Amino acid sequence: MTSTPYADFHARSLTDRDAFWAEQARRIDWRTPPQRICDASRPPFARWFVGGTTNLCHNAVDRHAAVRPEERALIWVSTEVGEERVYSFAELQAEVEAMAATLAGQGVGVGDRVLIYMPMIPEAAFAMLACARIGAIHSVVFGGFASVSLASRIEDATPKLIVSADAGSRGGKRIAYKPLLDEAIALSAHKPAAVVMVDRGLVPFEPVAGRDLDHAELRRQHWGARVPCAWLESNTPSYTLYTSGTTGRPKGVQRDVGGYAVALATSMDWIFGGKPGETYFSTSDIGWVVGHSYIVYGPLIHGMATLMYEGTPVQPDAAVLWSLVEKYRVTVMFSAPTAVRVLKKHDPTLLKRHDLSSLRALFLAGEPLDEPTASWISEGLGVPIIDNYWQTETGWPLLTVAHHIPGVEAVPTRLGSPGVPMYGYDVKLLDEATGEVLAQPDQKGVLVIEHPLPPGALQTVWGDDARFVSTYWQSVPGRQVYSTFDWAARDADGYTFILGRTDDVINVAGHRLGTREIEECISGHPVVAEVAVVGVADPLKGQVALAFAVPREMPATPEAARALEGQIMKRVDEQLGAVARPSRVLFVSLLPKTRSGKLLRRALQAVAEGRDAGDLTTLDDPGALMQVKTLLQK
């Protein structure tokens, strides 16, 4: 039997768009069938499966609990506290309904926001699914985020209620959430009516009278409650997830219900090759988009068990992930290159300690995958290593090679490239200055997506359609296209290679951070007159932030410089969180600028990475870069 070339299959997803996605819509349950597949009449906005009513929680939980209630649904493992729990689909539904009754009992309903500030514990997934069940819009904030960052998200989302916990744990270190949350609420102009607290017994805390509610008591009160799913029109918002932007103000990426469910259901089958009843393991966190799409919703919608892990890749030893693969017969695994680089520092025989015969593939994403890392883990595990590229905004892979589409030729992997455009994505490379399509191989351009974005991608920026348009759709002259803000090139065979950011967002161990946010934080220190932050290549994390600060008065001694650096790093920790902390803060008397006053960040980055800084004819004072070079050589 002759297979269809993937390029032809991809082309059909664009030229016969409505028929293509109508077929995929059959993968989920609808209370009311869609009346129209795609309404793209108001670019750059798109509405998918218009008129159809569905529910994410029903598709992830109820429909499976009805036919195979005793099969595993959620597996929770914490090497931090030494606990494991396994929930069947029936048990998961009972927990979600108790949580839904708790939320509803506090007046939460369709369209209300619930902010979830939680560690990687089952109650976090229960809360997300409970919101989906009753039609509330959840906004998950990465656990341990600093108070200032958390406050900005509370102000933007204006949640009726917050679900949190006493503490998280990372590498054996307890991280108290309650003081961070209390300070964030104090800083925020918006005050939630209630906070539901999960007490893990890790860190003592004092409840706020009249506001803080005990989850265990509420769960007891509502156990056995039956809470019906709210059937929502496909384009109803399901959640918001905040991502760093090119300004200090975070963007609330808004996702729909129906399009997201269809996109995830399709990707679980065609991209990841998972099968109902198998086990899927993503090592991400629910605070990031991978956790939303491929810890909570994707695997469950597909009828797979999902493994939720609280811990590091090296605790109690560097074989812990593989022990979980063996114990729970994981078939598909998703992680990040940073995790593999961490493991690469340990004894390679640990990759062979456990029986990994169930594992069919390891997917890696979140940052560029370098060839040595890919080769090392591939040889160690003996399974395909699948790179994939996507963003918080797209919700599911944009570029990869992995697909298990019946009757369609598989595309082989190519080291250094995440792959080719996935079905539904009309991807182009454009000249940044002219908007011209770059059709020849190996030309460097901006990676963009033509309107409409496929199902599962962001609908808009929460509460700010104008920002959605201006941020994503107006950066290329004369073209209304979605910009990924990444440089890329394409080889003669159609493989795309990501070359780096066009804006000021850096990627630290898979976490996207706006350098502008870090700069604003550092410049708020009374001693700092001016600052520039750049992302610098790092062999472990992909990139790290490096700060160059001009103090109002240069530190008199090396000891004074170290003390000031420590103060600045503490400030970043407190306001943005440890993930945003620069690797170094270097003090200079001036920053490299053009004669017109433009800061040459790319020159700073090049010098920090030991590369040629390129054309510096516009540099106002060559001594600025010489000063930087001298500091970096020390």
Are residues 625 and 565 both part of a single domain?
Answer: yes
Judge whether 120 lies within some domain.
Answer: no
Residue 521 has pLDDT above 60, yes or no: yes
Mean pLDDT of 141-167: 93
Domain count for the chain, please give it.
Answer: 2
Q: Which pLDDT does position 287 carry in this prediction?
A: 92
Judge whether 316 lies within some domain.
Answer: no
Chosen domain end from 467, 501, 535: 501
Query: Cα 310 to the chain's mean position, in Å?
Result: 17
Chosen domain end from 501, 530, 555: 501
State the residue range of the domain holding 464.
429-501
Lowest mean pLDDT among 120-124, 239-243, 571-575: 571-575
Q: Which pLDDT does position 247 carry in this prediction?
A: 47
Confidence band of 607 (pLDDT split at 50, 70, 90): confident
Mean pLDDT of 156-185: 96
What residues does 239 pair with on adjacent strands? 138, 255
Residue 510 has pLDDT above 80, yes or no: no
Residue 44 has pLDDT above 60, yes or no: yes
Residue 115 has pLDDT above 50, yes or no: yes
Query: Cα 548 to the chain's mean position, in Å?
Result: 28
Lowest mean pLDDT among 161-170, 252-261, 500-509: 500-509
Confidence band of 244 (pLDDT split at 50, 70, 90): low
pLDDT (tens digit, 9 = 90+) per residue, 419-453?
999 999 999 999 988 999 999 999 989 999 999 99
| CA-wise closest residue to 299 among 84, 94, 122, 73 | 73
Q: Which pLDDT does position 509 carry in this prediction?
A: 76
Selection from 101-105, 556-560, 627-631 with the highest mean pLDDT = 101-105
Chosen domain end from 448, 471, 501: 501
Are residues 584 and 559 both part of a single domain?
Answer: yes
Mean pLDDT of 324-350: 92
**CATH (domain of 611):** 3.30.300.30
d(CA 192, CA 213): 12
Judge whether 135 lies within some domain.
Answer: no
Average pLDDT, the chain: 92
Q: Which pLDDT does position 628 carry in this prediction?
A: 79
d(CA 463, CA 468): 9
- The 3-state DSSP class for residue 524 equals coil
Judge whether 469 lies within some domain.
Answer: yes
Are residues 460 and 484 both part of a single domain?
Answer: yes
d(CA 603, CA 222): 60
Are residues 542 and 625 both part of a single domain?
Answer: yes
Beta pairing, strands 279-282 & 305-310: parallel
Helix, strand counts (H, E) of the chain? 20, 32
Q: Which pLDDT does position 262 carry in this prediction?
A: 98
For the record, the structure tokens of 26 come out as 């059959």
d(CA 322, CA 302): 23
Are residues 594 and 509 both part of a single domain?
Answer: yes
**Rounded percentage of the chain residues whose pLDDT exceeds 70:** 96
Confidence band of 594 (pLDDT split at 50, 70, 90): low
d(CA 607, CA 610): 5
Lowest mean pLDDT among 151-155, 490-494, 508-512: 508-512
Mean pLDDT of 54-71: 98
**CATH (domain of 486):** 2.30.38.10
Are residues 491 and 528 both part of a single domain?
Answer: no
**Rounded percentage of the chain residues whose pLDDT exceeds 90:** 74
Confidence band of 1 (pLDDT split at 50, 70, 90): low
Mean pLDDT of 390-394: 96
What residues does 486 pair with on adjacent strands? 501
Residue 479 has pLDDT above 70, yes or no: yes
Are residues 535 and 459 both part of a single domain?
Answer: no
Are residues 550 and 442 both part of a single domain?
Answer: no
Q: Is residue 118 within 8 Å of residue 140, measured between CB atoms?
A: yes
Judge whether 585 lies within some domain.
Answer: yes
Residue 515 has pLDDT above 60, yes or no: yes
Judge whether 182 lies within some domain.
Answer: no
Q: Which pLDDT does position 246 carry in this prediction?
A: 43
Judge whether 560 lies within some domain.
Answer: yes
Q: Which pLDDT does position 596 carry in this prediction?
A: 47
Are residues 480 and 596 both part of a single domain?
Answer: no
Judge whether 113 lies within some domain.
Answer: no
Are residues 493 and 578 both part of a single domain?
Answer: no
For the record, the structure tokens of 604 come out as 């700073």
Are residues 538 and 629 both part of a single domain?
Answer: yes
d(CA 270, CA 24): 11
Q: Which pLDDT does position 618 carry in this prediction?
A: 54
DSSP annotation string for 287-354: TSHHHIIIIIIHHHHTT-EEEEEES-TTSS-TTHHHHHHHHHTEEEEEE-HHHHHHHTTS-GGGGGSS
| CA-wise closest residue to 624 among 600, 597, 591 | 591
